[in-house]
Amino acid sequence: MTSRYFLTSLAEALLRERFASPATVQRVQQGRLKHLLQHAARHSPFNGRRIQPAGSPLEQLQRIRPVDVREMMDNFPDTVCGAEITLTEARAAAQSEPGKVARVRDRWMVSQTSGTTGEPGYFLNDHRSVEIQRGVVFARTFRDRLAWKHVRRFIRRRYRMAFVVTRLSGCISTQTCLLGKQQSGRMAEIRLFPSEDPIAEIVRGLNEYQPDYVHGYASMLELLAYQADDGALKIRPEFISSGSEGFSKAGRAAVERVFAPAVVTSQYGSTECSVLGNECRAGQMHVNSDYVILEGVDENDQLVPLGVKSHQTLLTNLVNLFQPIIRFRLTDSISWQTTPCPCGSPLPTIQLEGRSDEMLWLERGPSDFVSCSPPSLQAQMYPVAGIRQWQLIQTQRNHLRIRFVKSPGVDGATVAADIRQNFRKYLDLERLGTLVEVTPEEVDMIPRTARGQKLKQIISEVGAPPRKERSS
């Protein structure tokens, strides 16, 4: 059954973007910020220590000291409102059975980050927060497809939606898929195609399903475009969206060319907040500023002027009242645009510079190379306990070096053994188990870039083979 929170937020998000003014959007934002700060100050001990209740809501916000994932995890029980939940309990719930939405005590959804900024993070949402964010994502992603000429196809037959994302239950993209599948009803059919599966299996499933809509990681969509270009994948979706990572220029061009005339768009979200932004038909990324506040800051956490690229970004999630996220440090770099978007939306636009990991190609035999997308490789690291940070480097064609920083009190040898085991299972699926060497290496620190931006987590030092030699 579809949630009332989902339907209400869907309608509000759609109508506000189509008919509201920028001033109205700003009033909604400030009203939600006021409520969030009052609620967090009263019910979250961690945030109560950070909030000084004097002045306007915006003045209060800008006096709050920014927080990163490690500090939130170190103070985890005090970040939660109205329940006593430990980090250990949240971590265990995030590793629940694949194919199910990860929940603490079968009630609060828990999502896990991949650890690109340091220690992995675990974030909780109650039913209200989950459904509001789902409604906003649906409304703003499908904004131009919720007109009568498009809605008619939902009525004639079920709209087939395919999610090519990881099967791991703690990942936000997977949770969006599984929750949608539970509530899709008669108008839509939703299927998950695990990105960890061999590409031939994914292609076979998509060919059988023939989706109208495909959502996936940008690197996976690029790979599917190459499969279609080579004649293996035979689908004609009318709408494609990417999330969790940005397209490369070549990757987006390939997806748009191969699947033309399909509409291709991008979502901007994070584990801490899934509704950061959505791309419009004019190709601009609009911030959902009626549901979030993003602050571009310099190296000293001072706000940067319009049009200037930020060092990092501070996120305030205006929807999640169960575990308030206030001035949380994202290592994405943004710059606010100064001219109105031609699409007519009242929502502001940004240029976004996030992390861009690399596709790896492993050799199964002469002229037989197998692709491994970044999200599929990241999925092998999610279940490994006791890691604060990691980085995978392809030093030779069939050699993967995995550097990791362990948590205090954890046995590094056990972590290394878990990494080897997870990758061996994954590589065996691609008939690469005996051909690829995986070398975990415990280190004290993994240095960042000179700008301190998000760690590039997956790196290839050997590059891609010629297209004609790739088998997938």
Assign residue 37 the CATH number of its domain.
3.40.50.12780
Read off the CATH number of the domain in which 178 is found.
Answer: 3.40.50.980
Give a yes or no: residue 369 inside a domain.
Answer: yes
Read off the CATH number of the domain in which 424 is found.
Answer: 3.30.300.30
pLDDT-derived band of residue 453, with 50, 70 and 90 as boundaries? Answer: very low
Q: Give strand pairing partners of 402.
A: 392, 440
Distance, CA of 64 to CA of 127 (rounded, Å) = 27
Same domain, residue pair 13 and 94:
yes
Closest residue by Cα to residue 419 from 441, 443, 440, 436: 440
Q: What is the mean pLDDT of residues 20-37?
A: 97
Q: Give strand pairing partners of 365.
A: 368
Sign of CA dihedral 352, 121, 297, 339: positive
In three-state secondary structure terms, 158 is coil
State both tokens at 365. 């035999």
Give a yes or no: residue 146 inside a domain.
Answer: no
The answer on pLDDT for 148 being more than 60 is no
Q: What is the DSSP letter of 186?
A: T
Where a domain ends, among 227, 253, 268?
Answer: 268
Same domain, residue pair 8 and 114:
yes
Same domain, residue pair 205 and 290:
no
Q: Give strand pairing partners of 368.
A: 365
The answer on pLDDT for 451 being more than 50 is no
Same domain, residue pair 339 and 372:
no
Provide the pLDDT for residue 250: 75
Same domain, residue pair 277 and 255:
no
Provide the pLDDT for residue 355: 56
Distance, CA of 180 to CA of 165 (rounded, Å) = 14
Provide the pLDDT for residue 65: 96
Cβ atoms < 10 Å from Cβ of 148: 7
In three-state secondary structure terms, 332 is coil
Alpha-helical segments (H) within 312-411 = 374-379
Same domain, residue pair 162 and 264:
yes
Q: Are 275 and 267 in contact (CB under 8 A)?
A: no
Q: What is the mean pLDDT of residues 222-236?
A: 92
- Parent domain of 210: 157-268
Same domain, residue pair 181 and 277:
no
As for how many domains the chain has, the answer is: 3
Please give the radius of gyration of the chain, using alpha carbons only, rounded to the nearest integer: 22
